[in-house]
Each structure stands twice: as structure tokens, then as C-alpha cells.
Amino acid sequence: MDTKVVQMLETKKHIRKRALEVILDRFDGELMGLSYKDRKRKYGKMKNDPYSFFRGSAYLFFHDVTELPFSYHTPKDRPTWIMGDLHFDNFSVFQNEKRDIVFDVDDFDEGYLGSYLYDVMRMAVSIRLTMENLGYSEDEQDKLVDKYLKSYTKQMKSFQDREVDPQTMHVTKDESKSAVKKAIKKVEQRKHSHELEKQTVVNSNSIRSFDIGKDKLSSVPKQEYEKLKKAWESYYDSLDVSTRQPRSFYRIKDVVKKVGSGIGSTGLNRYYILIEGSEEDHKDDIILEAKEARTPIPAYFFPYDEQFWLEHRHQGRRVMHTQQAMHHLSDPYLGYFSIDNHDYYVRERSPFSKDLKEKHLMDYKSMKQTIKTMAQISAKIHARADADIDEGILPYHSEDAIIEAIGSNQKGFRRQLSLWSSHYKQKVIQDYELFIEWGNENGYF
């Protein structure tokens, strides 16, 4: 190869690798404050494959896409609640407030106000990377990304036409097929005690406590435990008064730290908290999860919104409001508190939570049906985000703004995003190789 061509290619590679290094150091090091040990743990997970790298580097994604002039954004004065990290693995089966087993989105840590398109773009790339891992061809990826975009648009149009109400739409066993239906059926066989049996033990005095050392659980130092107990009063005050139980219901019986979960959340504090509950209606001894919440990644790249930050100074409260906006029924244990200037949100550690099985996604038809369902849910969470329209946070219907942004040329919308997601998938794969080089050079692997 000609020397000048080699120099060009090497220069381009060097610049991108340097950008990757700066972004990793800025976010994981300076902003998130991850220790070398935590960064090593996080990068070890990201090393698994390009999709894992994509999941753990959302800040790189937003750095790239917020600089691009896409045609289908909603106007800046017409944002909606977005997940901020919508991807294939952020859908799962769980039990909602009415005890229905449903399939829906399940991670709201990066929730923020912005254009719906960022969620759709990130989801489209994640579909390609997931299918790449499962051995699907490029042609099959094209078809299924188009299916996602077509189903998303169709569902959103039905909301705009008021044919379907996003606030009542949900996906249960009866509304699902293939991999989703199988996961729901599996969860329906579980007992209410499933999570308790998995995470706790009962001693000879019939006292239940967490099984230390099991499933990456570790004890909490006494001083830290006392701080959490003190902060628990503000958690109780944050609960929805319409579903809140007597104070004694939330009495803490045991607390442990959970380590090793997720990729992007590596290094954030996470507690499992065993509360008293009651003996009525399967509510005796309940496991709650308290997870540290920090400034959402999109906030670093989107225009500053003074009104938003006035209303969402507490990051746990922001995560809670995102979930309440996007779910038609929310977790009755949703709340928040702070310890030493660190914000947390609380949710139930449900015994009826389950991810999709990879083996059930190997069949093209099953994958197609699953992606269609995910598209409908994606549309639902965006359209549902104006549920607080009466409170003036979003004084318009999100579905109207989104359909107007997509316009009449829906094929053009799908074509542009399909081509772009194919291009960006290749960029992620190339970045992954640069990440591996960088990680080896800096002793993370």
C-alpha cells in the first residue's frame, strides 16, 4: 500500500483512538469517579464483544450522534421523556402494580427530556449488534431494523389517531408471541418467594437475612448501615401516599451491598434491603433495591434546560419520574433518598423478573415477532411520556410531535435510519478494536 495512504489511515485511526481515550477518561474517570479497580471491572465486561462495548459506552454514542443533523428530530421545544439508553437488553418480563406479568422496558437510569429519535437510533444499532452476535446476516439485519422502525411508526400513528391509549396499553401473555410469550409463561410458574429463596436464609430462630457471599452480595459496614437507616425516613416520605403502607411495613430487617451487576452502572452503589412487609397477600418480607443515580449521560450533550433541573435536582427522583412517565403502572415501592450527597432511587426486587433467552431468538420468525413487540413498547413509552400533561411539564401530546417530525415520507424515515444504523454498527465494531488496543496498552485487560 502507498505510504501516503498508510499515513492517512493511521492518522484517522490515531485521532479516533485519542477521542475514545479522552471520552473514557473524562466520563469514567473524572465525572463518574470510578476507581482503577472499577474501571478494570467495567472494561472487562465491555471487552466481551462489540455489543457489550456499545452498552458500556453510551457517552461515546451521544458524543457522535448529537453532532449529526438528522431530518426527523422533534423540535427543541417539543421534547419527550426518553430512556436515554434504549437497547435490546433493556426489555424484560416483570410483574406490574396490578400483579399482571408484563413485558416492558426496565431501566430508567439515563432518563431525560429530548428528541425521541435518540432512543430509536440507539435501539436500531443495538438490534444489529445483537443479531450480529447471534449470527444473522446483514440482509436479515436490514429487514428487522426496517421492521422495528415500521412497527414503531405504525404504533405511534395509532396513538396519534387516538385509536389506542398508550396509558392503558401493556404486553401480557395474551398480547405476545414467541420468545416474549415463553419468558412470560416461565415467570408465571414462579412462587412469590422466588427471590427470597434465592437471596436469603432463615436461621434456627426463624429470622430471615441475606445470604452473604451468594450472588455477589457483601456486608455493609455499621456506619454505612446507620446512615442508610437514617435516610430511610426520607424514602418513606417520597412514596406515593395513595399506595403507601404504614411506616412499620418498611422497617429494615437486613441490608447488603450488591456488586457486579450491569455494565454502564459499574462502580455505582447498590443495596439490597430486606423490609418487614406484612403477612397479608404475599407481602411478608420484601426485597427492595436501592441504586445510586447520577447525572444522566444525555444531559452532557443536550442543550441545558433550566426548568428541568429546577424540578429534578435529585437524581433518584428523576429516575423515579422517568419510570412513572413511561410505565402505565409503576412499582408501588418507587421512592428515593440521599446519603452523603449521593442520590438513590428505590424499587422492588421483583420475584417475577426475567430476561429473554438467547436460544429463543435464534429463529428469524421469533426474532421478528420480538422486535415488533419491542417497537410497539418503544412507541408506547414515548407517547405515554405526556401523562403529566395536566401538570404542565409537557404541554402537548408527544405522539403528535413525533408523527409530525417523521412526516408523510415514512419510507424515507426508515431508509435513512436503516442506512445510518448499518454504518454506525460498523463504526462500533471498529471502535471496539481500538478500545481493545487502548485497554491492553493501559493495563485494563
The pLDDT, as a whole number, for residue 280 is 67
- For residue 370, the tally of other CB atoms under 10 A from its CB is 26
CB neighbours (10 Å) of residue 268?
Answer: 18
pLDDT over threshold 50, residue 391:
no
- pLDDT value of residue 197: 87
pLDDT per position as a tens digit, 310-359: 888 899 999 998 888 887 666 889 999 999 999 999 999 888 888 999 99
pLDDT at position 392 is 45
3-class DSSP string for 390-412: HHCCCCCCHHHHHHHHHCCCHHH
**pLDDT tens digit sequence for 272-308:** 999 998 876 556 889 999 999 999 999 999 988 888 8
pLDDT in tens, 153-180: 999 999 999 999 888 888 999 989 999 9
Q: How would DSSP label each residue in 372-385?
A: HHHHHHHHHHHHHT
> How high does pLDDT run on average in the chain?
91
Note the pLDDT of residue 58: 96
**Residues 127 and 371: beta-carbon distance below 8 Å:** yes
Per-residue model confidence as pLDDT tens digits over 125-151: 999 999 999 999 999 999 999 999 999
- pLDDT tens-place string over residues 228-247: 999 999 999 999 898 899 99
pTM (two decimals): 0.93
Q: Which of 17-21, 47-51, 73-77 is least confident?
A: 73-77
**Span 8-32, average pLDDT:** 92
